[in-house]
């Protein structure tokens, strides 16, 4: 058993390479093999978002605060809000983040396949984010 006391793992700023805007990540768990679970609390400032990406074993998001947006490639932008749980199937290209005027916080949960939890792709353009592509 490994107990990490609250506040013992520092928050880290998400990479500008894979996120637009200011995003903070607070790890919850990154279980070593043979376990595969990875989870984190992710805080997005208004307008901040992930780049397009996929997960080899899918991803679950649970919104804990604020109002956000999510989209799968070729689909409409959808709103997500407090209490919503989003399942993204394995290999589905998608992005998620805060609404243009609101912060959004979610717990992101995914499993690793051969040590990999995510495949990062191109950034979401401002035109794509606004739904005018």
CATH of the domain at 69: 2.60.120.10
Residue 23: inside a domain? yes
Contact (CB, 8 A) for 94 and 52:
yes
pLDDT one-digit tens code per residue, 67-91: 999 999 999 999 999 999 999 999 9
Residue 130: inside a domain? no
Residue 74: inside a domain? yes
The CA distance from 95 to 73, in Å, is: 8
Residue 78: inside a domain? yes
Q: Do β-strands 37-44 and 23-30 pair in parallel, antiparallel, or remain unpaired?
A: antiparallel
End-to-end CA distance of the chain: 49
∠ CA 56-125-13, rounded to 5°: 65
Averages of pLDDT over each 10 residues, the chain, 133 residues: 88 96 95 91 98 98 98 98 98 98 98 95 96 77
Domain count, the chain: 1
Residue 39: inside a domain? yes
Domain with 60 in it: 12-120
The CA distance from 79 to 105, in Å, is: 13
Residue 124 has a pLDDT of 98
Contact (CB, 8 A) for 46 and 103:
yes
Residue 57: inside a domain? yes
Residue 133 has a pLDDT of 67
């Amino acid at each position: 058993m490994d107990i990490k006391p609250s506040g013992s793992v520092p928050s880290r700023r998400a990479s500008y390479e894979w996120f637009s805007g200011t995003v903070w990540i607070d790890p919850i768990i990154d279980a070593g093999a043979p376990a595969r679970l990875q989870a984190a609390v992710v805080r997005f400032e208004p307008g901040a978002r992930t780049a397009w990406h996929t997960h080899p074993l899918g991803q679950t998001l649970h919104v804990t605060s604020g109002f956000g947006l999510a989209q799968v490639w070729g689909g409409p932008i959808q709103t997500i809000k407090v209490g919503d749980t989003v399942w993204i199937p394995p290999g589905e290209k998608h992005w998620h983040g805060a609404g243009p005027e609101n912060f959004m916080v979610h717990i992101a949960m995914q499993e690793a396949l051969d040590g990999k939890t995510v495949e990062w792709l191109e950034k979401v353009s401002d035109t794509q984010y606004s739904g005018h592509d």
